[in-house]
């Protein structure tokens, strides 16, 4: 029996890419650069600000301009963090059904707490999630298993009786190392370069409600 269901945030639980895309294009414009198309930007979102800045500026973290650009980008995003962000279609129904079944659910993300908590609050879900574990909640971030193990401890669930859903290889790796069952959210921010068949997940889903079959 499933004891809990845990979700990656960006690209699995919520469609955050539109607001991140707007923030990056504002940053590009402020530096005299042209904006990038949404289709070119979307696959980078699950890989964090480093990947998004690489798409926009062609810059790596060891570049001396990287940290100032990262700070500016995240400041812009924080100011308008949930203007266009929505739960993926069907996710609201899914969490209602989980709650009806008394199955706790939570978020395990590499997004920092100062961005995760306001986003969950604006989505009206901060108090409904049984666990919210951000990238800086523990000493480690995914693909390390500790964030998922920490979430399981918070909800008093055995990892082996838990499901972790994500849309990036690091998500599946973290879930597998934690001993949880893992599902790939194919509706998330996968790129053409991704090869989910190599990630050794327990399954794939095309819609949030597909998770119900795994309970």
2: which 2 tokens? 């499933």
Q: Is the peptide bond before 143 cis (omega within 30 degrees of 0)?
A: yes
Only one residue has tokens 């008394």, namely 102
Report in angstroms the alpha-carbon separations of 68 from 22, 71, 75.
18, 5, 11
Is there a catalytic annotation at residue 10? Answer: yes
Phi first, then psi: what are they for 9, rounded to 5°?
Answer: -90, -65
Is there a catalytic annotation at residue 63? Answer: no
- Under a CB-based contact definition with an 8 Å cutoff, are residues 196 and 204 in contact? yes
What 8-state DSSP symbol labels residue 10? Answer: B
Q: Which of 59, 20, 60 is nearest to 41 (CA)?
A: 20
CA distance 190 to 201: 15
**53 in helix, strand or coil?**
helix
178: which 2 tokens? 């934690």
Give 14's strand partners.
10, 87
Only one residue has tokens 């909640």, namely 137
Question: Residues 8, 15, 167, 171: which is the catalytic one?
Answer: 8
Active site residues: 8, 10
């Amino acid at each position: 029996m499933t004891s809990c269901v845990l979700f990656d945030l960006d690209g699995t639980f919520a469609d955050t890419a539109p607001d991140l895309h707007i923030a990056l294009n504002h940053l590009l414009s402020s530096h005299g650069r042209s904006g990038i198309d949404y289709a070119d930007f979307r696959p980078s979102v699950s890989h964090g600000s480093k990947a998004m800045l690489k798409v926009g500026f062609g810059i790596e973290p060891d570049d001396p301009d990287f940290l100032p650009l990262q700070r500016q980008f995240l400041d812009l995003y924080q100011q308008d963090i949930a203007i266009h962000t929505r739960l993926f279609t069907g996710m609201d129904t899914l969490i209602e059904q989980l709650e009806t079944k008394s199955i706790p659910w939570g978020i395990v993300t590499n997004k920092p707490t100062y961005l995760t908590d306001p986003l969950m609050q604006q989505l009206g879900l901060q108090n409904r999630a049984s666990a919210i574990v951000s990238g800086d909640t523990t000493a480690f971030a995914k693909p390390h298993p500790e964030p998922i193990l920490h979430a399981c401890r918070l909800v008093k669930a055995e990892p082996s009786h838990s499901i972790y859903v994500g849309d990036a290889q690091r998500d599946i790796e973290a879930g597998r190392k934690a001993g949880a069952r893992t599902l790939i959210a194919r509706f998330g921010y996968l790129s053409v370069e991704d090869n989910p068949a190599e990630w050794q997940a327990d399954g794939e889903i095309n819609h949030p409600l597909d998770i119900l079959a795994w309970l």
